[in-house]
């Protein structure tokens, strides 16, 4: 039996952080290692340009950074096809075809697009570009070009997957059953809060903990984490449920440690500084193998580029096959 394909990716606008890792990367790695799927991982440089068209250098530089993050946290090029979006022209072609199947009003109602437009006022002013408003259409092309069935992503991506599903249904109802309708796969913690207490961790929010952060950086970020504001003295009883240090212990520490943190905090028997120091150890032991592997690739950018090129060649073959089906269905098979 053919393996189900899964596909996911990231915009190369910066290094990947813990939010990406826990929200979706870990799921991709698990699915990859199960051997049950055929994985495709894209570095979405064209999509990154939709909100960085004025900064091509940044996108170019981060293609390599994201690729190194992938390789160092366990995406294995022998098991997964890792590729660069802009080198698959079929995706651009599909985007044009799909743009007839989606209305401007529907794009403007997409909650993810709406939130992002609000955050990018400085770039877009009063009027957003056609390219940015339309990026869900190109994301639908990314997914359908590979006939991907499963999409491991963070919660913020759900409206984009939903919009892709609508495009697929519309395409199939007009041109005949051709495209595969994908499903999102969410992790247990699809959205990670920042150490500052923000509901989301993000590069632009300035609260991200990066996979590549060194011990000193981790220390600095964790020492600045928001704890229970009502707890003034060390032996005051604390409320772990409002404390970001406890929240992060739940992400990085084992059950016993979490239980101790919770009980000792409530009893006023655990100081915040000691609790933070313990968390620093836990985070550092999770990140240090990733960091070490990353150093290896940082010294060998050519090896990373070769992996991307080999993946892209493989990916292109698949996208071409889908294109033949799509053109036939649309009577463009001259
Ligand atoms: N939108 C994703 C992000 O913001 C990147 C992406 C592009 C993607 N195409 C995709 C994710 C297809 C999943 C499937 O990082």
CA distance 34 to 209: 28
Q: Mean pLDDT across the chain, nearest whole number?
A: 95
Q: What is the pLDDT of residue 23?
A: 87
The pLDDT tens digits of the residues spanning 66-111 come to 999 999 999 999 999 999 999 999 999 999 999 999 999 999 999 9
Q: What is the pLDDT of residue 126?
A: 86
| Site residues for ligand 1, CB cut-off 6 Å | 7-11, 42, 44, 47, 139, 142-143, 151, 153, 157
CA of 94 to the centre of ligand 1 (A): 16
Residue 191: band (very low, low, confident or very high) from pLDDT cuts 50, 70, 90 = confident
Determine contact, residues 101/170, Cβ cutoff 8 Å.
yes
The pLDDT tens digits of the residues spanning 30-49 come to 999 999 999 999 999 999 99
Residue 288: band (very low, low, confident or very high) from pLDDT cuts 50, 70, 90 = very high
Three-state SS for 162-202 is HHHHHHHHHHHHHHCCCCCCCEEECCCCCCCCCCCCCCCCC
Minimal-distance CA residue to ligand 1 atom 14: 8
Q: What is the pLDDT of residue 262?
A: 94
Q: What angle do CA 178, 152, 244 make, to 5 degrees?
A: 155
Determine contact, residues 44/169, Cβ cutoff 8 Å.
no
Determine contact, residues 272/231, Cβ cutoff 8 Å.
yes
pLDDT (mean) for 134-147? 98
Top CATH class of 4-193+300-329 equals alpha beta
CA distance 99 to 224: 46
Q: What is the pLDDT of residue 205?
A: 83
pLDDT (mean) for 121-135? 93
CA of 8 to the centre of ligand 1 (A): 6
pLDDT (mean) for 55-63? 98
Residue 232: band (very low, low, confident or very high) from pLDDT cuts 50, 70, 90 = confident
Determine contact, residues 190/27, Cβ cutoff 8 Å.
no
**Atom of ligand 1 lying closest to residue 143 CA:** 12
* Adjacent-strand bridge partners of 41: 8, 82
Query: Does residue 190 have a pLDDT over 80?
Result: no
Residue 2: band (very low, low, confident or very high) from pLDDT cuts 50, 70, 90 = confident
CA of 134 to the centre of ligand 1 (A): 13
Residue 2 DSSP code? P
Minimal-distance CA residue to ligand 1 atom 13: 8
CA distance 36 to 3: 6
Residue 135: band (very low, low, confident or very high) from pLDDT cuts 50, 70, 90 = very high
Query: Does residue 161 have a pLDDT over 90?
Result: yes
Q: What is the pLDDT of residue 325?
A: 98
Q: Which residue, among 109, 81, 107, 112, has the nearest Cα to 95 in the 3D structure?
A: 107
Query: Does residue 301 have a pLDDT over 90?
Result: yes
Residue 13: band (very low, low, confident or very high) from pLDDT cuts 50, 70, 90 = very high
Q: What is the pLDDT of residue 235?
A: 84
Distances (CA, A) of 55 to 13, 61, 62, 205: 10, 10, 11, 19
**Atom of ligand 1 lying closest to residue 44 CA:** 7
- By most ligand atoms within 8 Å of CB, the mutation choice from 6, 8, 19 for ligand 1 is 8
- By most ligand atoms within 8 Å of CB, the mutation choice from 153, 156, 184, 185 for ligand 1 is 153
**Atom of ligand 1 lying closest to residue 7 CA:** 14
- Residue 78, C-beta contacts closer than 8 angstroms, at least 6 positions apart: none
**Atom of ligand 1 lying closest to residue 47 CA:** 7
- By most ligand atoms within 8 Å of CB, the mutation choice from 19, 43, 44 for ligand 1 is 44
- pTM of the predicted model as reported, rounded to 2 decimal places: 0.94
Q: What is the pLDDT of residue 131?
A: 97
Element (H, E) at 83: strand 81-84
Q: What are phi and psi of 82, to 5 degrees?
A: -105, 125
Q: What is the pLDDT of residue 253?
A: 95
Give me the CATH code for the 215-294 domain, please.
1.10.240.10
Residue spans per domain, the chain: 4-193+300-329, 215-294
Tokens at residue 318, please? 């698949």
């Amino acid at each position: 039996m053919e393996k189900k394909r899964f596909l996911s990716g990231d915009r190369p606008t910066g290094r990947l952080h813990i939010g990406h890792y826990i929200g979706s990367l870990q799921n991709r790695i698990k699915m990859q290692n199960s051997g049950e799927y055929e994985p495709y991982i894209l570095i979405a440089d064209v999509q990154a340009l939709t909100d960085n068209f004025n900064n091509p250098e940044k996108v170019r530089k981060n293609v390599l950074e994201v690729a190194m993050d992938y390789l160092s946290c366990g995406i294995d090029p022998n098991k997964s096809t890792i590729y660069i979006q802009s080198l698959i022209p079929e995706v651009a072609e599909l985007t044009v075809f799909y743009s007839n199947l989606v209305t401007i009003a529907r794009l403007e109602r997409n909650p993810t697009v709406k939130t992002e437009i609000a955050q990018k006022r400085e770039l877009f002013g009063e009027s957003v570009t056609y390219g940015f408003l339309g990026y869900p259409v190109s994301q639908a092309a990314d997914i359908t070009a590979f006939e991907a069935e499963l999409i491991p992503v963070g919660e913020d991506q759900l409206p984009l997957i939903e919009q892709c599903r609508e495009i697929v249904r519309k395409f199939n109802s007009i041109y005949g059953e051709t495209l595969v309708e994908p499903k999102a796969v969410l992790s247990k913690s699809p959205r990670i809060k920042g150490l500052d207490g923000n509901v989301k961790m993000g590069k632009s929010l300035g609260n991200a903990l990066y996979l590549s952060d060194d011990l000193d950086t981790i220390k600095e970020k964790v020492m600045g984490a928001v704890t229970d504001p009502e707890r003034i003295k060390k032996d005051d009883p604390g409320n772990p449920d409002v404390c970001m240090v406890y929240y992060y212990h739940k992400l990085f520490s084992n059950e016993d440690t979490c239980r101790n943190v919770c009980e000792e905090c409530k009893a006023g028997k655990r100081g915040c500084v000691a609790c933070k120091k313990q968390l620093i150890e836990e985070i550092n032991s999770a990140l240090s193998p990733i960091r070490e592997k990353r150093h290896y690739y940082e010294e060998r950018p050519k090896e990373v580029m070769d992996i991307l090129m080999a993946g892209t060649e493989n990916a292109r073959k698949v996208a071409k096959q889908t294109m033949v089906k799509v053109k036939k269905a649309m009577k463009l098979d001259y």
